[in-house]
Amino acid sequence: MAALTPELLALQLLVGLALGAIYVLLAFGLSLIFGMLTVVNFAHGAFYMLGAYVAFAVAGLTGNFWLCLACAPVVLGLIGYGVERFLVSPLYGRGIDYPLLLTFGLSYVLVEAVRIIFGKQGYPFDSPAALAGSVEILGNYFPLYRLFVVAATGTIVLALWLFVEWTNFGLIIRAGARDPEILRVLGIDVGRVWRLVFALGTAIAAMAGVLAAPLQGVTPEMGDSMLIESFVVTVVGGMGSLGGAVLAGLLVGLVVSLTSVVAPELAKLSIYALMAAVLLIRPQGLFGRAGLLG
Amino acid sequence: MPERRSQRSIGGLTRRQVLGAALGAAALGAVGFRPRTAGAAQPPIRIGFCVPLTGPYGSEAQDQVRCAQLAVREFNASGGLNGRKAELLVRDSKLSPDEAATRTLELIENEHVDFVAGSLSASVQLAVNNITKQHRILYNSISQSDAINEPKDFSRYTFHEALNPTMTTDAVGRYAFPRFGKRVVFLLPDYAYGHEMTRGFKRVGKEFGIEVLSEIRHPLGTTDFSVFFPRIRALKPDVLVCCNFGRDQQITLKQATDFGLKRAMKIVYPILLYTARLAVGPRAYQGVVGGTSYYWGLEKTVPAAKQFNDRYRAAYGGRVPSDYGAFGYAGVRTILASVRQAGSVETDAVIRRMEALHYDFYKGPEYYRACDHQAVQSVLIVESKPAPADNQFDVFKILEVYGPNRVHLRSCRELGYS
């Protein structure tokens, strides 16, 4: 076994950061939707996968990655809007398990639909030409594209944070999360706000899907394991906490990466060990508010 | 006619059509529909074919279906068994031993199949074999496994058309270790295929004095290998032996290339997949050396390969068959050839014919060894290269062919057969 030199450690941290970036985006959307709508969205992984397939289709037509990155969130945002309007919203006030089961079923429908349309076997997806190369870091080659994923995630998270904290709509979102009743009394169409939040969460999932596609290709099942892992991230960060989602996403990436050096077989398991440890110490997650599910 | 519809779909060669046909066949089977050929009084000879159409080995499995259909069609076109036609019942194992066992049981109990062929994945075939063994149905496996040769899993109903890891790694190791170096890191999927391949490489490696620096195991279906690369790089091996398969292989090579691993070490695969190479493009596979059971380019020297390729080209729009696809072809064709020789579908008679079969159906001479029904056959060593402009399928260069007389199997005595 290679000694854990500072260089190796630094590289593992960098790899983990890039790995965590995708978790951050997925968990952010999940947390946004849960925090506002108290909907545990089991279709989030399928939306992530759909985003990647929209990108795959757009790339097939135009060959332009940047267009994919722009198109997929728009398409999925519209789908998310429709899903909330016609499927999820009729279930409000019926208890948390109704939308959970609905989105769970929806994810199966979406995955099957993609299998029928695109085939079961999945496709590779090229990195954009401008980011295809590597840079040398500490004597190792590191793919430029992974650095781009980290930077893109940082930008998206920053933009969302500014949006939620500094715009009027963001103010409404935050108020809606605290007390939708009062918001309604104030004359704000809360249903519309929720629809837009659901669409926004879905669009972020799509963006994560597009960013992940050049790393691993696209497959109908790509959302399945990501969904479970991003739920773990959300739970670790605290359900509904946006800051928690970001921090926990990066934390999970780093834990997986570092475990891989010491015990590669346990890499996936380490995510759940982390969750168990956090839940033992803080049952509501790192930044969660207790009692949201009650 | 359902049968004709399914054939036309397969001939059209879009994935959707192939899958649609497979699903259609499954649906028809589910409602107990029995296709009959006009005028033929006898029911068709039914061969169950369960492969992982869904999941990381989907591309390989789909070509196995195409090739198996080809064997069935050839049999029918040449008159069948005195006019009695054969048909293939395709099922999706989803790469799960449980799913495969359930589907196989259904094929036997509800569809009354005469034979079973197929399966892909070392652990899935053992599950299928377990069922066919119990029901005394002849099963021809078309996926790598050492365990299937061993007394614990083997039965006289079990045939193994695919290569096994011992013979594969013996040839690949013999080629690679003297040429590329002795400091070795293994990266393997954590299930039977990876374990058996690694064991085989170590076995042949002893002869060449290799030093194993590390054995890194990953779950089947891993989508990101980057976490392993800094450590592999730090270990400074001469050779990185990767034992994964299907989509795992595509992703490993793409990411390893992005991380510049190939500049520091030689990457060697026990099985370098034609389907995966074609899907992911030249850059990821550039310079990688590995073994294979079949490459269509063999047609320059092997007449049977030329015939097989030409039939496949005619049926599937000019494309060429893959390595694992060819296993599907041979796995079904050997059964049907033995049926014809035996003049019946009676299991014992067909087994006796198959045991005596010496055949050259697509890659040169083969036969099933008496003690464990392992197909003794050649192993090819290939290197990936960019395809020339005039032929997009020309992706491998054949470096060496270890013929049936040069491959090393574990002896019958070593396996525990008297």
Domains located in chain B, CATH noted: 2-163+301-376 (3.40.50.2300), 166-292+379-415 (3.40.50.2300)
- Cβ contact B300:B399 at 8 Å: no
Q: Can you tell me the distance from the alpha carbon of B69 to that of B86, in angstroms, rounded to the nearest whole number?
A: 10
Confidence label for B17 from pLDDT (cuts 50, 70 and 90) = low
Tell me how close the Cα of B333 comes to any Cα of chain A, in angstroms: 26
Chain segment A137-148, per-residue pLDDT in tens: 888 889 999 999
Q: Give me the pLDDT at residue A5, please.
A: 86
Tell me how close the Cα of B85 comes to any Cα of chain A, in angstroms: 30
Residue A286 lies in a domain: no
Other C-beta atoms within 10 Å of B393: how many?
17
Chain segment A74-95, per-residue pLDDT in tens: 999 999 999 999 999 999 888 8
Q: Identity (one letter) of the amino acid at A103?
A: T
Look up the ipTM and state it: 0.89
Chain A partners of B250 at a C-beta cutoff of 8 Å? 124, 217
Residue A131 belongs to what domain range? 6-281
Q: Can you tell me the distance from the alpha carbon of A148 to that of A65, in angstroms, rounded to the nearest whole number?
A: 13
The pLDDT of B109-123, averaged and rounded, is 95
Q: Give me the pLDDT at residue B399, please.
A: 98
- Mean residue pLDDT of chain A comes to 91
DSSP B16-75: HHHHHHHHHHHHHHHTT-----TT--SPPEEEEEEE--SSTTHHHHHHHHHHHHHHHHHH
Sign of CA dihedral A79, A82, A84, A87: negative
Q: Nearest 5°: CA angle at B29, between B28 and B31?
A: 70
Does residue B389 sit in helix, strand or coil? coil
Q: Can you tell me the distance from the alpha carbon of A53 to that of A112, in angstroms, rounded to the nearest whole number?
A: 13
Q: Give me the pLDDT at residue B11, please.
A: 40
Nearest to B227 among A19, A121, A122 (CB): A19
The pLDDT of B315-326, averaged and rounded, is 96
B32/A149: higher pLDDT: A149
- Cβ contact B362:B329 at 8 Å: yes
* CATH assignment at residue A131: 1.10.3470
Over 50: is that where the pLDDT of B5 sits? no
DSSP A277-289: HHHHH-TT-SSPP
Give me the residue label for tokens 């989508």.
Answer: B223
Instruction: Report how far apart, in Å, the C-alpha atoms of B99 and of each of B96, B146, B186 are.
Output: 5, 22, 30
Chain A interface disruption, residue of B216, B226, B263, B277, most A CBs within 10 A: B226
Does residue B14 sit in helix, strand or coil? coil
B32/B363: higher pLDDT: B363
Q: Can you tell me the distance from the alpha carbon of B335 to that of B160, in angstroms, rounded to the nearest whole number?
A: 12
Residue B310 makes CB contacts below 8 A (sequence gap 6+) with none
Sign of CA dihedral B272, B240, B198, A273: negative
Q: Can you tell me the distance from the alpha carbon of A136 to that of B260, in angstroms, rounded to the nearest whole number?
A: 10
Residue B226 makes CB contacts below 8 A (sequence gap 6+) with A15, A18, A19, A146, B255, B259
- Cβ contact B111:B89 at 8 Å: yes
Q: Can you tell me the distance from the alpha carbon of A214 to that of B332, in angstroms, rounded to the nearest whole number?
A: 38
Residue A29 lies in a domain: yes
Q: Give me the pLDDT at residue A138, please.
A: 83
Nearest to B218 among A5, A117, A264 (CB): A264
Q: Can you tell me the distance from the alpha carbon of B287 to that of B240, in angstroms, rounded to the nearest whole number?
A: 13
**Hey, what are B42's tokens?**
């006898």
Over 90: is that where the pLDDT of A291 sits? no
Residue A211 lies in a domain: yes
Q: Give me the pLDDT at residue B41, please.
A: 65
Chain segment A245-285, per-residue pLDDT in tens: 999 999 999 999 999 988 888 888 899 999 999 999 998 88
Tell me phi and psi for residue B271, to 5 degrees: -130, 115
Chain segment B204-222, per-residue pLDDT in tens: 999 999 999 999 999 888 8
- Helices and strands (DSSP H and E) totals, chain A: 11, 2
- Cβ contact B405:B378 at 8 Å: no
- A67-71's contacts with Cβ under 8 Å and 24+ in sequence apart are A68/A210, A69/A207, A69/A210, A69/A211
Least confident of B281-285, B292-296, B360-364: B281-285
Nearest to B234 among A2, A18, A127 (CB): A2
Beta bridge partners of B380: B292, B401
Q: Can you tell me the distance from the alpha carbon of B125 to that of B119, in angstroms, rounded to the nearest whole number?
A: 5
CB contact under 8 A, B223 and A11: no
Over 60: is that where the pLDDT of B23 sits? no
Confidence label for A294 from pLDDT (cuts 50, 70 and 90) = very low
B302-332 as b/e: b if 16+ CB within 10 A: bebbeebbebbeebbeebbbbbbbbbbbbbb
With CA atoms as reference, report the closest residue to B270 among B378, B385, B176: B176
Q: Give me the pLDDT at residue A290, please.
A: 62
With CA atoms as reference, report the closest residue to B373 among B115, B138, B191, B121: B138
Residue A97 lies in a domain: yes
Confidence label for B1 from pLDDT (cuts 50, 70 and 90) = very low
Residue A63 lies in a domain: yes
Chain segment B53-101, per-residue pLDDT in tens: 998 899 999 999 999 999 999 999 999 999 999 999 999 999 999 999 9
**Cα A286–chain centre separation:** 18
* N residues, chain B: 418
- Cβ contact A120:A234 at 8 Å: no
Chain B residues whose C-beta sits inside 8 Å of any chain A C-beta:
15-16, 19, 53-56, 58-59, 62, 190, 214, 216-219, 221, 223-224, 226-231, 233-235, 247, 250-251, 254-255, 258-260, 263, 279-281
Residue A292 lies in a domain: no
Over 70: is that where the pLDDT of B10 sits? no
Tell me how close the Cα of B388 comes to any Cα of chain A, in angstroms: 20
CB contact under 8 A, A16 and B227: yes
Does residue B101 sit in helix, strand or coil? helix
Q: Outline where DSSP puts E strands in A119-256.
A: 134-137, 140-143
With CA atoms as reference, report the closest residue to B59 among B139, B150, B135, B120: B120
Sign of CA dihedral A128, A19, B275, A67: negative
- Cβ contact A50:A114 at 8 Å: yes
Q: How many domains does chain A have?
A: 1
Other C-beta atoms within 10 Å of A165: how many?
11
Confidence label for B127 from pLDDT (cuts 50, 70 and 90) = very high
β-pairing, B115-118 vs B138-141, is: parallel
Q: Give me the pLDDT at residue B297, please.
A: 96
Chain segment B131-174, per-residue pLDDT in tens: 999 999 999 999 999 999 999 999 999 999 999 999 999 999 99
Chain segment A169-205, per-residue pLDDT in tens: 889 888 887 787 888 898 888 889 899 999 999 999 9
**Cα B295–chain centre separation:** 12
Exposed, middle or buried: residue B41 (CB in 10 Å: 0-12, 13-18, 19+)? exposed
Chain A partners of B15 at a C-beta cutoff of 8 Å? 119-121
Q: Give me the pLDDT at residue A292, please.
A: 54
Q: Outline where DSSP puts E strands in A4-151.
A: 134-137, 140-143
Residue A290 lies in a domain: no
Q: Nearest 5°: CA angle at B368, between B363 and B370?
A: 160
- Cβ contact A288:A236 at 8 Å: no
Residue A165 lies in a domain: yes
Q: Can you tell me the distance from the alpha carbon of B249 to that of B59, in angstroms, rounded to the nearest whole number?
A: 12
Q: How big is the A-B interface in CB pairs under 8 Å?
A: 112
